[in-house]
Amino acid sequence: MRGKFAVAGLGVSQQGVKLGISDLELRRQAVELAIEDAGIERTAIDGYIHAWDTREDLRYLGLSPSFASALFAGGASASMSLLAAAGAIATGQADAVACVFGLAPTSGYVPGREGAKTIGAFGYGYASKAGLIGAASAHALHARWYMDEYGATSADLGAVAVALREHACRRPEALGYGKPFTLADHQTSKMIVDPLRSLDCCRDSDGAVAVIITGAERARELHPRPVYLLGAGYGHNIRNWHNGTVYAHHDDIAPAAAKAFAQAGLTIDDVDVASFYDPFTISVLMQLEAYGFCKPGQAGAFVRDGGIGLGGSIPTNTGGGQLSGFYAAGFTALVEAIRQLRSEAEAGQVKDAEVALVSGHGLNAGVQNTWGHVTLLLGNQS
């Protein structure tokens, strides 16, 4: 696995709220930017993976791949699509695969979600009959478990919100840019689903991302700074649902991380930058501990002490993440990791970043946060 496949192109469309542009047009823009970034002939794109649960309109994208498919595991789809692309290349089915995501929910464009929202789409939907509705409440169940277990407080959650907003304030493309806030602002923000306040929750935004995956040699020919897949691992929270520990697990990270680090031949100490799936502040606290960046129950203090800042021991979600950057499901974390490893993170650049950890987290379950998980290790040295 290590060093055999790489990101040869990255395209990020405009990201924002109420852009008034359809999701398809945003994906077209992202694909164009990725093709330009890779310096590849568009006819050389011979595989297409739509990281969402609907079919793609290849006619409008002007592509003619030998295969196209949809791949859906919610926010885990992004990292999974890279592995599916690697699989297509490894089995000789393609040489250059575009992995693409794009939604425009704030402009009314969400493919497959026309009309009234169905709670059933969230999975084991009976909990919604008791009033459990939406991703925030599903994550709040984990947050309450964590706070009860370790005596953590809303201020610990707030420390994450503040740290990520500081990151965003260095990055003009982040939606939180130019809008700093303090812990006091967090503590007075509206309670939504206790213990999560308004500033503990990310917001939907419109935008698309395209990533072109090729074999490593091809990527070196195409791009001056290829980003290599070093290791990957899957986890699934159904395992912890069955054994009764699901609320102690933001994701089923342990087996995923073990596999990813073994494939990469690396340890947690080798990671220079972390890019977590962070729809809610609790997500950052629980992942810092699950990966071992800090001890159980210590994540709040770790964040308050600057642990995830640019000068901290593990700079995390340096683009502001979903909470303060932009929401492109699993691609938010992926984009920032690629930018860091290409030294394109501008004022948020982590000096000499060589290895990035990306987490994907997806399929809102309606009974706990989500089921699917991917740990991905990326690097700029094969």
Which residues are annotated as catalytic? 277, 327
Compare residues 21 and 138 and give the one whose CB is closer to other proteins. 138
Long-range contacts of 144-149 (CB under 8 A, 24+ apart): 144/194, 144/195, 145/247, 145/248, 146/248, 146/282, 146/285, 146/286, 147/195, 149/248, 149/297
Closest to other proteins by CB, 9 or 366 = 366
| Cα 225 off chain centre by | 21
Shorter beta-carbon distance to other proteins: residue 34 or 132: 132
Q: Whole-number minimum distance, CB 361 to other proteins, in Å?
A: 18
User: CB of 202 within 8 A of CB of 165?
Assistant: no
Instruction: Give every strand in the sheet of 67-70, ordered side by side.
Output: 67-70, 47-50, 96-103, 207-215, 5-12, 227-236, 370-379, 355-364, 273-275
Q: Based on the shown chain and the rule CB under 8 A, indicate whether residue 314 belongs to the binding site for other proteins.
A: no
Q: Which 315-334 residues touch other proteins, going by CB under 8 A?
A: none
Tell me which residue of 274, 267, 237 sits closest to 253, measured CA to CA: 237
Question: Pick from 3, 16, 105, 134: which binds other proteins (CB under 8 A)?
Answer: 134
- Position 110 contacts other proteins (CB under 8 A): no
In the complex, the smallest distance separating the C-beta of residue 143 from other proteins, rounded to whole angstroms, is: 8
**Residue 133 touches other proteins, criterion: CB under 8 A:** yes
293 neighbors 268 (Cβ within 8 angstroms): yes
Q: Three-class SS string for 304-323? A: HCCCCCCCCCCCECCCCHHH
Number of residues located near other proteins, criterion CB under 8 A = 36
Min dist. Cβ of residue 151 to other proteins (A): 12
Q: Which is nearer to other proteins, 64 or 245 (CB)?
A: 245
Residue 371 interacts with other proteins (CB under 8 A): yes or no: no
Residue from 91, 114, 130, 352 touching other proteins (CB under 8 A): that is 130
Cβ atoms 52, 111 nearer than 8 A: yes
Chain residues 239-298 in contact with other proteins, contact rule CB under 8 A: 241-242, 244, 246-247
Question: From the CB of residue 360, how many other CB atoms can be counted at a distance below 10 Å?
Answer: 33
Nearer to other proteins by Cβ, of 28 and 186: the residue is 186
Cα–Cα distances (Å) from 108 to 20, 77, 321, in that order, read 8, 22, 23
Residue 234 in the binding site for other proteins (CB under 8 A) = no
Q: Which of 62, 120, 172, 180 binds other proteins (CB under 8 A)?
A: 120
Q: Is 195 in the site for other proteins (CB under 8 A)?
A: yes
Binding mask 66-105 for other proteins (x = CB under 8 A): ----------------------------------------
| Count of beta carbons in the 10 Å neighbourhood of residue 130 | 7
Nearest to 108 by CA among 176, 208, 17, 173: 17
- Least distance from other proteins to the Cβ atom of residue 146, Å: 9
Closest alpha carbon to 8 in 216, 312, 243? 216
196-225 residues near other proteins, rule: CB under 8 A: 196
Rule CB under 8 A: is residue 311 a binding residue for other proteins?
Answer: no
The least CB distance from residue 153 to other proteins, in Å, is 15
Burial profile 37-76: b = 16 or more Cβ within 10 angstroms, e = fewer? bbebeeeebbbbbbbbeeebeeeebebebeebebbbbbbb
User: Could you tell me the smallest distance in angstroms from the CB atom of residue 133 to other proteins?
Assistant: 4
Find the shortest distance in angstroms from Cβ 129 to other proteins: 5
User: Site residues (CB under 8 A) for other proteins?
Assistant: 116-120, 124-134, 137, 140-142, 144-145, 148, 190-196, 241-242, 244, 246-247, 367
